[in-house]
Structure formats: C-alpha cells, structure tokens
Amino acid sequence: MTTFSLGDTDFLRDGQPHQVISGAIHYFRVHPDLWQDRIRKARLMGLNTIETYVAWNAHEPRRGEWDATGWNDLGRFLDLVHAEGLDAIVRPGPYICAEWHNGGLPVWLTGSMDDLRSSAPDFLVEVSAYLRRVYDIVAPRQIDRGGPVVLVQIENEYGAYGSDRAYLEALVAVTRDAGITVPLTTVDQPVDQMLSDGSLPELHKTGSFGSRSAERLATLRRHQPTGPLMCSEFWDGWFDWWGGVHHTTDVAAAAADLDALLAAGASVNIYMFHGGTNFGLSNGANDKGRYLPLVTSYDYDAPLDEAGNPTEKFFAFREVIAKYAPVPDDLPAPASTAPAFDVPLSPAGAWTDAAGSGAVAAQPQTFDALGHLSALVRYDVDLPDRNGGLLLIDEVRDLAWVSVDGVAVGTLSRTRNDRALRIPAGRTLSFLVEDQGRVNYDHRLGEEKGLIGEITLDGVAVTGWRSTPLDVTAIADAIADLLTSDSARGELPGGPTAWSAEFDLDTASDLFLDTASWSKGYAFVNGFFLGRYWRNGPQRTLYVPAPATRPGGNRLVVLELEQILTPTAYFVDAPALGVTEE
C-alpha cells in the first residue's frame, strides 16, 4: 500500500519527501475520446500529477438526475490518469468558479435557496448528497487503496466569499465520513483575510497566484508555519470574454515564476495545463459592476492549446521541470495543420418563431421559473391599444432582440446597462432573450435569467406575457433530421435563420470553423454542440474535436440570431482566438 501524507516541510510519499508537479485538465471541457491523449502529454511535459475540478451542474443539471457516464465519467478519467502512472488531485467544490456556468452549482439548487455556500441546513442537505456521490467514485481510487488520488480539496477559494466555519466543518465531516483518507486542502489567494477565512486548522492551506512566487509563498508560510508549501493554482494564462482581447502571458516570465516555485521546494499545480473548451452553453460570466460573458474557447494560453497541441510554453515549462524531476525522453508530436476548405451554407428557415406556444402570465416568466436550461426564451405580449412609446424595463439578463409585429426595432444589452427603447405602434411586442452565461464568481451566483422586474410603456405596466422556452440543441437536432443533402438554396432571409452545410472528410479530423463572416449564434457538427460564436470577438474560430467528425459525410447546422454576412462555412487550418494585448 502506497501512502501519501503531510510532513513538516514536504509531502511524503511512502515516508519520503515528494514534490507535487501537477497540471489541471477539466475532464468536462475535453471530449472523452481525447482524455488519454491529453493525460499522456502531461506526463511528457514532466508532470507527475493531474488535477481536476468536478462540475456539479454537469453531473446533475436537474435535481435527482445524476449522471457519471460519458463526458461525466470521472471514474474513467481518474483510471486513465492512473494508467499513465500519474497521481490525481480532485477538487469537487461544491463551488468551483473555473469560469464555468454558475460556478459549477446547479441552477435548480441556486434558484431554490438564498444561503449559498453556507451552513444553512437546506444547503448542507443538498451539498452532502452531492459530495457522497462524488466520493463514491473517488474513495476507492485513493492512493492508499491502489488508486491515483493523493489530495482532495474542500470548497474553493472560500475566503473570497465567506467565513462560515461551521460550513467548512460540515464539508470535512461528510468527506471523512465518505471514506476520504488522503490529506484535505483548501486554496485561497495569498491575502491575509482570505487565508484566515477560507480554511480550518485541520486543513492544509495552499495558494492561488501567477507571479511574485517568493512573496506569495512567504505570506502562505505566515499562515501555516509547517507543512509543504503549495501553489495549487499557478495561473499560467487567463480567460477571455466577449468584446475583450485574447489574453496571453509572457512565456519566459511564466517559466521563471514556475522555476522560482520549484526552486523554493514548493509543490505546484499549473492552472491550466490544458484548458479545453466551453462546449455547448457551459461558459460562465463575470460581473464586477459590468456583466462580461466568457467566450467558448478555454484555451487559457496553456502549455497544451485548445486542440491539445504543445505550445512554446509547454517546452519552456518542460525545461524548467527537468531541473527538479525526471522528464521523459519522448516528446509529443508537433501541431499539424487542420484541413482547410469551404462549403456553401443553405438556409433552412426561421427557427425562433415560437409565438403563441408558451403559457400566459401577468409578468414574463424567468428561465428559472420555466425550468429552462437552454439559451433562449421568447416573450410576446399584445400592445395595449396598439400604441408605441418609450419601453422601460428594470433589467434584461442578458441580451434581448426586440421586435414589433415581427419587425426588429433594437436590442437591449445587460453589458451596456440598457433599460429603455422607443418602439413603434403595433399589435404584438416580442423579446427574444438570451442567457449569455451564468455568473461564476462572488455573490451574483444563481441570479435569475430573462426579463427581470416591471416592464412599462410610457409609464403604464405591460401585462399578459406569453413566455416560450427555446431549446437550441433540440431545434438543431430537428433541423438536421429534416434536411436532405439536396436542399435548395434560397434567397438570403433576414433575422434569425437556420443554415446547414454538408462536407466530406477522408478521416476524422480536428477542425477550426471560422465564424468571422457570421454574426451571433450557435454551431453544431453531426449533432455535437460546438458552442457560441459572436462577431463581438475576440474569438473567431470554433474548435471541432476530431471525435465529433467522421470519415465521409458530415453535417454542419448553424443557428444564426442576426445575419449571415457570407453564406459560406470556412474551415481554416489553425485557431484564431483574437488580438492580444500589447
């Protein structure tokens, strides 16, 4: 039996000092058929450990519907880590942040209670049930039972959110009761208040930072006089949001900070080793006074890029690691260019015309009240006396296209803090509202989506709203089922239109779909939901993982919300994630 424990200055593996050199891979952001490839490349960079969060809302999007198969097969992921000869760190949250939808918390949970991440009894009941399910997978895979798991984290950067010690104690109790025997850790930014509030004396404190390593380790040591020093989130890159730039970090500077960490004898978890993708609608959002939804790519400027190719940072980090630990002689294959080609898009008709099919209530129903987990809800109301005027709404979450009698009159954006729009006279007022991503940080977790608060027209309340949820995945599937390979190409329609294209491949291949000549919407290949695209940038290409493609015929379905500028699908040979900061 192999043991793993905390020593006075080091982690101890079978009683011998051990430096953890880990990298983050989120299994839920990587196609399962590619897990083994990404894990192997981590070993080739010199890592001895893989870390992953567990996203509760990926496993249980609806209450009681627990899934640990396919994309959610955490057990298989950990087994692949073990088969590669690596250890594993598991961070089950329940809150993970991670720039992930709602910080990993299920919408059914956050919408049903006010006291999140606390010792409130109703919250603890749900969290305990969740953790027990995760630990059913993790416990038999601990290192002292012949598996790879060496550390388990309690909560996540809790000191930045709260200071409820009873909550942390309850999480520890359920964790130990579920048979977790490996050391338990917490992580916080190396700020005195956060380190004090975010942990307990019996938990091992670690830090999260991406620079000034010596200074941050000194702060950590002040709060924890003994035990191994560890940066369990070494930020080697950053994430992007729509309307921003593509963030990168200087390779030499990142490598120097990693060198300083390892030279100090500290253990490290590189966040991220391989970021992956926010496929589907899984992206989160930030709101620190301005709402900023995050892009589909989670490339993170990591050592392994979004498509799993080694970058300059991979080789720089490998060179640093080789100074402190054995590094395999083998190297991963260099990045290869993807097939480049273009195919015409054919219009497949309007896809958001859902007027008359929803339930009527005095006020618009939120996504949450409708139990709706997809991206869009359409709201329709009869205008009183068919009058126009100044339309005023308390808040739109997050982006609304407004029309009167089917004619577009404008948009209302949460990011722009829009609240008012002058509309013409007409019979029916319609909103098409998009949830652009749930906030994943701080105290806006779990906020409702849709049209929020009162809506007035020239100061008079507008009531009698029909609220119709639109499931974009189901719509795309239905369109694919109806399409034939010889579907006729029509005139370019206006407004939200579905488009399709067919293309042939000699073999299943990674692809990069260039969306620069489109406006805003969602793309699917062979039913696989690639994610969101938006001319707002910075991201220009969507990554198509090879397992989503097939030799022979393939089908692309695009659900465009505004206008296709050029009715062509361009596949390019490399990713284009946007301009970077100088």
DSSP state string for 156-219: SSGGGT---HHHHHHHHHHHHHTT--S-EEEEE-S-HHHHHHT--TTSEEEEEESS-HHHHHHH
Alpha-carbon distance of 152 to 129, in angstroms, equals 17
Confidence of residue 485 (pLDDT cuts 50, 70, 90): very low
Which candidate in 60, 99, 155, 157 is catalytic?
157
What CATH number is given to the structural domain containing 504? 2.60.120.260
The verdict on 50 and 144 lying in the same domain is yes
Element holding 270 (H helix, E strand): strand 267-274
Which candidate in 51, 233, 434, 560 is catalytic?
233
The verdict on 533 and 396 lying in the same domain is no
CB burial string 306-333: b at 16+ within 10 A, e below: bbbbbbebbbbbbebbeebeebeeeebe
Asked if residue 329 is part of any domain, the answer here is no
Alpha-carbon distance of 435 to 471, in angstroms, equals 12
**Beta-carbon contacts of residue 570 (< 8 Å; ≥ 6 apart):** 342, 513, 514, 516, 517
**Beta-carbon contacts of residue 433 (< 8 Å; ≥ 6 apart):** 376, 377, 378, 379, 396, 397, 398, 399, 400, 449, 450, 451
The verdict on 524 and 399 lying in the same domain is no
CB burial string 19-33: b at 16+ within 10 A, e below: bbbbbbbbbbbbbbe
Asked if residue 4 is part of any domain, the answer here is no
The verdict on 49 and 91 lying in the same domain is yes
The verdict on 414 and 442 lying in the same domain is yes
Chosen domain end from 431, 463, 495: 463
Alpha-carbon distance of 333 to 102, in angstroms, equals 36
580 SS3 class: strand
Please state whether the predicted TM-score (pTM) of the whole model is above 0.75.
Answer: yes
Sort strands 204-209 and 438-439 into parallel, antiparallel or unpaired.
unpaired
Q: Give the residue-averaged pLDDT of 343-354.
A: 92
| Cα-Cα-Cα-Cα dihedral sign, residues 85, 547, 309, 298 | negative
Which residue range(s) make up the domain with 283? 19-321
Confidence of residue 565 (pLDDT cuts 50, 70, 90): very high
CA distances from 449 to 215, 241, 452, 529 (A): 41, 19, 7, 22
Confidence of residue 414 (pLDDT cuts 50, 70, 90): very high
538 preceded by a cis bond (ω within 30 of 0): yes
The verdict on 385 and 505 lying in the same domain is no
Alpha-carbon distance of 496 to 353, in angstroms, equals 9
Indicate the length of the chain as a whole number: 582
Cβ(10)–Cβ(17) under 8 Å?
yes
| Cα-Cα-Cα-Cα dihedral sign, residues 20, 26, 30, 34 | positive
Question: What 8-state DSSP symbol labels residue 140?
Answer: G
Chosen domain end from 463, 481, 514: 463
Confidence of residue 359 (pLDDT cuts 50, 70, 90): confident
Cβ(290)–Cβ(526) under 8 Å?
no
Q: What is the token pair recorded at 435?
A: 């949830």
Q: Give the residue-averaged pLDDT of 114-124.
A: 96
pLDDT at residue 488, as a whole number:
44
The reply to whether 306 belongs to the active site is: no
Specify the number of domains making up the chain.
3
Nearest to 327 by CA among 16, 42, 50: 42
Burial class (CB in 10 A: 0-12, 13-18, 19+), 487: middle
The verdict on 453 and 482 lying in the same domain is no
pLDDT at residue 494, as a whole number:
66
Three-state SS annotation for 509-558: CCEEEECCCCCEEEEEECCEEEEEEECCCCCCEEEECHHHCCCEEEEEEE
Alpha-carbon distance of 287 to 116, in angstroms, equals 18
Chosen domain end from 439, 463, 487: 463
Per-residue pLDDT of 379-413, as tens digits, reads 999 998 888 999 999 999 999 999 999 999 999 99
Confidence of residue 315 (pLDDT cuts 50, 70, 90): very high
The verdict on 57 and 86 lying in the same domain is yes
CA distances from 543 to 232, 234, 248, 554, 576 (A): 28, 25, 18, 15, 10
Cβ(515)–Cβ(467) under 8 Å?
no
Per-residue pLDDT of 254-290, as tens digits, reads 999 999 999 999 999 999 999 999 999 999 999 999 9
The verdict on 79 and 174 lying in the same domain is yes
Answer yes or no: is pLDDT of 530 > 60. yes
Alpha-carbon distance of 420 to 418, in angstroms, equals 6
Asked if residue 492 is part of any domain, the answer here is yes
The reply to whether 233 belongs to the active site is: yes
| % residues pLDDT > 70 (the chain) | 98
Give how far the C-alpha of residue 364 lies from the chain's centroid of Cα atoms, to the nearest Å.
Answer: 28
Alpha-carbon distance of 63 to 58, in angstroms, equals 12
The verdict on 242 and 110 lying in the same domain is yes
The verdict on 258 and 381 lying in the same domain is no
Amino acid at site 372: H
